[in-house]
């Protein structure tokens, strides 16, 4: 029996057993309890409609994976830029004084600008930590409301193939795409 029905039944039993012996305060209290039961039932329905399994099993882990991929790609791009700076430094060493000074100034500015990678990684790390904390809180809250949650429909192969850029190693292979196209 759902919580709302149990509370409603309990309130009715108490009212029936006291037949006329209730004070005004007791009537107000019992009405509040019944209202609380309705509020709890509504909250459970809303939590069930949130599709929390999508949030905790798919959306948040996917977001953290995407953020990790951003950090990796940013680090890779930064390393490539720094490697190019080393080549430019070698060229600057062979250039005339005026050109060497201009190259050296530009190289220094590039090195300074590459500090974005470290700062970006730190900020993304904070976002990942926050997402994991949110995921844990959602799981704790929804764990109490599992009763009555409907299972989600499975994602079809066609929908999975159309979900856009994927993380390295998680993307759809050309063979999968060819197979899907052959089915048409």
How far is Cα 139 from Cα 52, in angstroms, rounded to an integer?
8
Same domain, 41 and 60: no
- Domain identity same for 39 and 70: no
pLDDT digits (tens, 9 = 90+) for 116-146: 888 888 888 888 888 888 888 877 777 766 6
Q: Could you give the number of structural domains in the chain? A: 2
User: Do 82 and 119 fall within a single domain?
Assistant: yes
138 and 102 within one domain: yes
* Averaged pLDDT of the chain: 76
CA distance 148 to 2: 9
Domain co-membership, 26 together with 77? no
**pLDDT at residue 24 tops 50:** yes
Torsion of CA 73, 78, 81, 83, to 10 degrees: -100
- Mean pLDDT for the stretch of residues 23-44: 78
For residue 84, the tally of other CB atoms under 10 A from its CB is 12
Flag whether pLDDT at 161 surpasses 50: no
Are 37 and 57 contained in the same domain?
Answer: no
Domain co-membership, 102 together with 147: yes
**pLDDT (average), residues 139-163:** 56
Does residue 45 contact residue 4 with C-beta atoms inside 8 Å? no
Quickly state the pLDDT bin for 103 (edges 50, 70, 90). very high
pLDDT band at 151 (very low <50, low <70, confident <90, very high): very low
28 shares its domain with 58 = no
Q: Are residues 57 and 77 in the same domain?
A: yes
Residues 61 and 122 in one domain: yes
Q: Which domain holds residue 106?
A: 52-152
Is the whole model's pTM more than 0.75, yes or no? no
- Domain match, 142 and 58 both: yes
Q: Does 173 fall in a domain?
A: no
For the segment 146-165, the average pLDDT, to the nearest whole number, is 50
In a domain, 15, yes or no: yes
In a shared domain, residues 17 and 57: no
Per-residue pLDDT tens digits for 41-96: 787 777 667 666 667 777 788 888 888 888 888 889 999 999 999 999 999 989 99
């Amino acid at each position: 029996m759902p919580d709302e029905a149990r509370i409603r039944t309990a309130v009715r039993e108490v009212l029936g057993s006291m037949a006329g012996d209730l004070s005004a305060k007791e009537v107000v209290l019992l009405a509040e309890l019944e209202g609380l039961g309705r509020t709890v039932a509504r909250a459970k329905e809303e939590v069930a409609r949130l599709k929390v399994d999508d949030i905790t099993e798919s959306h948040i882990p996917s977001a953290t994976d995407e953020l990790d991929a951003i950090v990796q790609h940013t680090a890779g791009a930064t390393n490539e830029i720094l490697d190019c700076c080393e080549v430019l430094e070698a060229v600057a060493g062979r250039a005339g004084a005026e050109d060497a000074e201009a190259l050296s100034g530009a190289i220094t500015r590039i090195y300074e600008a590459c500090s974005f990678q470290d700062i970006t990684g730190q900020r993304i790390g904070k976002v990942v930590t926050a997402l994991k904390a949110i995921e844990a809180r959602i799981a704790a809250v929804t764990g109490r409301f599992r009763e009555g949650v409907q299972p989600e429909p499975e994602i079809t192969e066609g929908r999975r193939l159309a979900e856009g850029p994927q993380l390295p190693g998680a993307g759809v292979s050309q063979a999968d795409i060819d197979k899907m196209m052959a089915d048409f």
